[in-house]
């Protein structure tokens, strides 16, 4: 039998708590629930930086934010890393990447310009040299476009996630895993905002229009003083929270429908027994918990994501509580595929833990928050650790510490750092975090320090293997793939 295949499906901004199999009564997710009965559910899967671009950079490099340099959104990642896609291509995998990429554009607020939306063939696709139907990012799912190997935008026929799933099904139907194994990555845009009824397929809003969807018990109308502009809750957000949540759950239901379509075609093609099938998300959504919206924070609503993995050598309808971090995904999955892990990867291969051959280690997930969501602004930096029981976090701006017992306080409402009797436990996590940060050469700097030291015109100069970002090569690629009059044209 050939090397196993890989199907990696990931939604955008889907939190663990909003899945039916995780216990949410408002979620209409029969296919996620069905997959959960067939899969191992890693219930403590953690986004090491709960932001769109940083997650993707860590997923594909196997490195932390302090190494790949994706400090905020809308930076261009250096291609000078040995990545997931490179490992697959070296092993003659037939690769496909469909959907949101978010590692190319370096101009904030201009994501619909062709120059920012189209990632040209070559090194900036990080080894994904096979089928490509991607775009940098856009979350308006009607009238959306994608790109293949030229800068000519191609309109989606219908709702974006539905058409992306059509493309994935077409790829699966037309690949021959007996000749070469395949690796399919499908990056759906939903359930990322906007959440209005006009950003849904027909019929989905009506399914949730009368649902009484409530925020979690740790919802607060008092703004978190550490929140950046993307995390504060404006009046419009608070006044329309239920409707926004209905739109969110409707988008989740659409992703669920498309997940079911992929599951069905895998069964029809008879490839399930030699395919690692993963369903997950890049990060979650706060929905007013702790006085915040959006992501980019260490609270469970933002950092804890679903992770279902199915294969005959893994337990079905079972859970594993290892803290599977974003950086661990590449080494773990490459190990399952019997492929070597790039030596510079910083994550841990947890494949034997997931198969049950090794005991669950004392493995805390390191999380890094180096700035705001997309702007160079100081005052919002934090670092954190999360293990099976506790979350420990500290802010740079004033040194404030937080310590939560996630088993006995699942809403993270009691800060044990304020309890003198817990000072030995607090010191344990403080020391552990300092050790981990030293290992990463992470000195917890202000956000603008990274701008000055690591970037040039929002290109990340921090490279790999002692190298840096070759801007002359970048200029040649841009000149080759973008005619002079194209860059600022609107993609849609």
> Mean pLDDT in each 10-residue stretch from start to end of the chain (492 residues)?
92 98 97 99 99 98 97 96 98 98 91 93 98 94 96 95 99 96 98 96 94 95 94 91 96 99 99 99 98 98 99 98 98 98 97 96 95 95 98 98 99 98 98 98 96 94 69 95 88 76
What b/e string do you get for 114-152 counting C-beta neighbours within 10 Å, with b at 16 or more? bbbbbbbbebbbbbbbbbbbbbbbbbebeebbbbeeebe
pLDDT at 1: 58
Strands (E), 94-219: 94-100, 131-135, 145-146, 154-155, 182-187
Name, in order, each residue with C-beta under 8 angstroms of 479's C-beta and a sequence gap of 6 or more. Answer: none
Alpha helices in 98-188 (DSSP H): 114-117, 160-174
Q: Return the SS3 of 403.
A: strand
Domains (range + CATH), the chain: 5-363 (3.40.720.10), 368-457 (3.30.1120.10)
Residue in 306, 310, 281, 286 with CA at minimum distance from that of residue 296 = 286
pLDDT at 149: 98
pTM: 0.97
Rg (CA), the chain: 21
Residue with tokens 């291609």: 79
Residue 96 near residue 183 (C-beta atoms within 8 A):
yes
End-to-end alpha-carbon separation of the chain, Å? 45
Residue in 396, 353, 394 with CA at minimum distance from that of residue 377 = 396
Distances (CA, A) of 414 to 219, 232, 433: 14, 22, 20
Distances (CA, A) of 367 to 64, 288, 342, 437: 8, 21, 22, 10
Strand partners, 281: 11
Question: CA angle at residue 58 from 56 to 62, to 5 degrees?
Answer: 130
pLDDT at 465: 45
Distances (CA, A) of 58 to 63, 83, 154, 306, 412: 5, 10, 28, 17, 26
pLDDT at 467: 60
């Amino acid at each position: 039998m050939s090397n196993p295949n890989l199907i990696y499906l990931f939604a955008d901004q889907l939190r663990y708590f909003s899945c039916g199999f995780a216990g949410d009564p408002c979620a209409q997710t029969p296919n996620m629930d069905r997959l959960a009965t067939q899969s191992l559910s890693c219930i403590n899967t953690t986004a090491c930086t709960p932001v769109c671009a940083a997650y993707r950079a860590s997923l594909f490099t196997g490195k932390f934010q302090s190494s790949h340099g994706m400090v905020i959104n809308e930076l261009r990642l250096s291609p000078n890393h040995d990545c997931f896609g490179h490992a697959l291509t070296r092993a003659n995998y037939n690769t496909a990447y469909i959907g949101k990429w978010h590692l190319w554009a370096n101009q904030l607020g201009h994501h619909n310009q062709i120059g920012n939306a189209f990632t040209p063939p070559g090194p900036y696709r990080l080894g994904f040299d096979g089928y490509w139907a991607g775009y940098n990012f856009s979350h308006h799912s009607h009238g959306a476009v994608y790109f293949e190997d030229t800068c000519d935008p191609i309109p989606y026929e219908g709702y974006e996630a539905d058409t992306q799933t059509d493309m994935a099904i077409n790829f699966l139907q037309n690949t021959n895993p007996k000749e070469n194994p395949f690796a399919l990555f499908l990056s759906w845009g939903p359930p990322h905002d906007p959440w209005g009824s006009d950003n849904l397929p027909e019929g989905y809003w009506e399914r949730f229009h009368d649902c009484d969807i409530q925020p979690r018990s740790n919802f607060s109308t008092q703004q978190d003083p550490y929140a950046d502009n993307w995390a504060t809750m404006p009046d419009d957000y608070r006044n329309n929270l239920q409707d926004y949540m209905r739109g969110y759950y409707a988008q989740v239901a659409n992703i669920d429908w498309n997940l079911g379509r992929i599951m069905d075609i895998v069964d029809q093609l008879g490839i399930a027994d030699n395919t690692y099938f993963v369903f997950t998300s890049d990060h979650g959504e706060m929905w007013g918990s702790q006085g915040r919206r959006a992501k980019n924070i260490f609270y469970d609503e933002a950092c804890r994501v679903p992770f279902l993995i199915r294969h005959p050598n893994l337990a079905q309808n079972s859970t594993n509580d290892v803290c599977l971090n974003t950086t661990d995904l590449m080494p773990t999955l490459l190990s399952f595929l019997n492929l070597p892990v790039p030596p510079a990867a910083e994550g841990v291969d947890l494949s034997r833990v997931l198969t049950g051959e090794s005991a669950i280690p004392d493995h805390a997930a390191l999380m890094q928050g180096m700035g705001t969501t997309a702007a160079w602004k100081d005052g919002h930096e934090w670092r954190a650790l999360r293990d099976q029981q506790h979350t420990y976090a500290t802010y740079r701006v004033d040194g404030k510490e937080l310590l939560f017992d996630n088993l006995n306080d699942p809403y993270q409402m009691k800060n044990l750092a304020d309890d003198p009797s817990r000072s030995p436990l607090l010191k344990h996590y403080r020391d552990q975090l300092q050790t981990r940060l030293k290992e990463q050469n992470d000195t917890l700097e202000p956000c603008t320090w990274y701008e000055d030291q690591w970037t040039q015109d929002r290109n990340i100069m921090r490279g790999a293997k002692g190298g840096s970002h070759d801007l002359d090569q970048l200029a040649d690629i841009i000149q080759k793939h973008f005619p002079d009059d194209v860059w600022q044209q609107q993609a849609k």
